């Protein structure tokens, strides 16, 4: 088992990476808290795969153990699912000393985390992320929440977990497209912070794609480290946390224009290609490095363009992002692979359109 310490303003916790669930109970025991009951929240895809094993393990504490299952998918990350989760917590006797276990992808993590943030004004929770995206992204940073009336993640709270327990074997049941989509965030981490990590992703691609435990462990931990460093320097998203938006400015616009029919990581992949082109236009990002990015995305099976859209429509859509404060577009860009910065308002419409045109 490998571990990573995460230091946040409100909490210190560990991310553990293993290839089974055998150390979950010892890890929870190590928190040294006397939980009164355990509530495992997962969606209807993950419940039949992993919930029983977790419930059985937790039963070893000799306290009440309950499973809560909700219908999968982003479209269910909403208030009515939250109501059902609150109702289940009440019926199952959850109190201030209960532990919520978020088991599943980012949707389970965001919802179970938000339930934990709000139930009885906040109770403890742990994350057991089972998608690549949740293992390297959504389970870190303390953001929890739900969508509301078509606005993504508009209702939420910051709430840090007690522990994140990653079992790489869960990736074996994950649909391949979801795995590939998660790779986009990982490549993003390398692009914004770590050139040596980019080399690693190039060199180890076959073992990554074969789900080799050792390589996955190094990769997941390095990504967690990068995300948690960026976040801990900026916990409430006022400045440099926005570097994590590399590829996301255009990516989110594409995601919305495609009506969420493409996976998030696919849109981020295309957005990163656009950001690389913009970086070359604005900051002298070497074209050879942009080509390396393109080749790496392609090798991992990620898309490079979205021919169904026009640059003009994506440009318009950029201004509909809740992160577009005022009317200034902020782009995370790269000087070199592994070296990123935020560009505010210095890019012209023509430059942006030209970069977008290259991914249409
Ligand atoms: P998801 O939770 O919907 O999981 C994707 C699909 O995989 C689902 O159908 C799920 O049932 C299934 N699944 C999960 N684990 C599986 C496994 N091991 N085997 C088989 N199937 C499995 O989506 P996601 O991509 O994990 O997360 C996306 C969500 O994360 C979005 O709602 C997004 O807003 C959120 N997010 C949050 C943060 C944050 O900081 N809190 C960051 C990024 C994304
Ligand atoms: Mg993302």
Give the pair of three-digit tokens for residue 275.
């950001």
Q: Using the 3D structure, point to which of 134, 152, 172 is the last residue of a domain.
A: 172
7 labelled catalytic? no
Say whether both 65 and 92 belong to one domain.
Answer: yes
Q: Using the 3D structure, point to which of 157, 172, 187 is the last residue of a domain.
A: 172
Query: Atom 33 (ligand 1): residue with closest C-alpha?
Result: 106
CATH number at residue 193: 1.20.1090.10
pLDDT per residue as tens digits for the range 74-132? 999 999 999 999 999 999 999 999 999 999 999 999 999 999 999 999 999 999 999 99
Say whether both 226 and 185 belong to one domain.
Answer: yes
pLDDT of residue 1: 94
322 labelled catalytic? no
Average model confidence (pLDDT) across the chain: 95
pLDDT along the chain (360 residues), means of 10: 92 96 98 98 98 98 98 98 98 98 98 98 98 97 95 96 98 98 98 98 98 98 96 72 95 96 97 97 93 98 96 94 68 97 88 96
Answer whether 102's CB lies under 8 Å from 126's CB.
yes
- How far is residue 143 from each of residues 157, 298, 299, 321, measured CA to CA in Å? 6, 30, 31, 18
pLDDT of residue 328: 75
pLDDT of residue 40: 99
Say whether both 141 and 49 belong to one domain.
Answer: yes
pTM of the full structure: 0.96
Residue 143's SS3 state is: strand
Say whether both 225 and 341 belong to one domain.
Answer: yes
- How far is residue 353 from each of residues 174, 251, 252, 316, 348, measured CA to CA in Å? 36, 14, 16, 10, 9
Among left, alpha and beta (phi > 0; psi -120 to 50; other), residue 338 is left
Say whether both 120 and 224 belong to one domain.
Answer: no
CATH number at residue 161: 3.40.50.1970
Say whether both 114 and 156 belong to one domain.
Answer: yes
Q: Using the 3D structure, point to which of 172, 197, 229 is the last residue of a domain.
A: 172
At a CB cut-off of 8 Å and minimum separation 6, what does 203 contact? none
What is the number of structural domains in the chain? 2
Say whether both 284 and 202 belong to one domain.
Answer: yes
Residues framing ligand 1 (Cβ under 6 A) = 43, 45-46, 49, 72-74, 77, 104-108, 110, 130-131, 133-134, 137-138, 141, 143, 153, 170, 173-174, 178
Say whether both 238 and 334 belong to one domain.
Answer: yes
pLDDT per residue as tens digits for the range 223-264? 999 999 999 887 555 678 999 999 999 999 999 999 999 999
Say whether both 10 and 114 belong to one domain.
Answer: yes
Domain with 93 in it: 2-172
Say whether both 192 and 87 belong to one domain.
Answer: no
């Amino acid at each position: 088992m490998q571990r990573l310490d995460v230091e946040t303003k409100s909490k210190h916790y560990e991310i553990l990476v293993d290839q089974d669930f055998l150390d979950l109970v010892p890890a929870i025991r190590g928190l040294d808290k006397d939980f009164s009951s355990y509530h495992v929240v997962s969606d209807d895809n993950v419940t039949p795969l992993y919930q029983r094993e977790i419930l059985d393990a937790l039963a070893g504490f000799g306290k009440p153990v309950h499973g809560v299952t909700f219908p999968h998918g982003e479209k269910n990350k909403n208030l009515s699912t939250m109501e059902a989760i609150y109702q289940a917590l009440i019926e199952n006797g959850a109190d201030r000393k209960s532990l919520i276990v978020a088991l599943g992808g980012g949707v389970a993590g965001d919802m179970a985390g938000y339930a934990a943030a709000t139930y009885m004004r906040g109770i403890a929770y742990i994350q057991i992320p089972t998608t690549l995206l949740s293992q390297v992204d959504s389970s870190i940073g303390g953001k929890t929440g739900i969508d509301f009336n078509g606005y993504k993640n508009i209702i939420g709270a910051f709430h840090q977990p007690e522990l994140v327990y990653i079992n790489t074997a869960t990736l074996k049941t994950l649909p391949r497209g979801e795995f590939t989509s998660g790779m986009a965030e990982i490549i993003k981490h390398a692009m914004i912070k770590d050139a040596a990590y980019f080399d690693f992703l190039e060199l180890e691609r076959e073992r990554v794609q074969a789900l080799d435990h050792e390589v996955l462990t190094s990769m997941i931990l390095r990504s967690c480290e990068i995300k948690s460093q960026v976040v801990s320097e900026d916990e409430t998203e006022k400045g440099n946390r926005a570097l994590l938006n590399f590829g996301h400015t255009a990516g989110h616009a594409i995601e919305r224009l495609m009506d969420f029919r493409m996976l998030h990581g696919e849109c981020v992949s295309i957005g990163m290609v656009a950001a690389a082109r913009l970086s070359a236009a604005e900051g002298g990002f070497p074209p050879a490095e942009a080509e390396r990015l393109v080749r790496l995305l392609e090798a991992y099976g990620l898309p490079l363009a979205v021919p169904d859209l026009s640059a003009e429509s994506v440009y318009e859509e950029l201004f509909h992002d809740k992160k577009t404060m005022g009317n200034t577009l902020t782009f995370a860009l790269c000087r070199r692979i592994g070296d990123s910065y935020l560009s505010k308002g210095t890019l012209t419409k023509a430059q942006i359109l030209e970069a977008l045109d290259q991914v249409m």
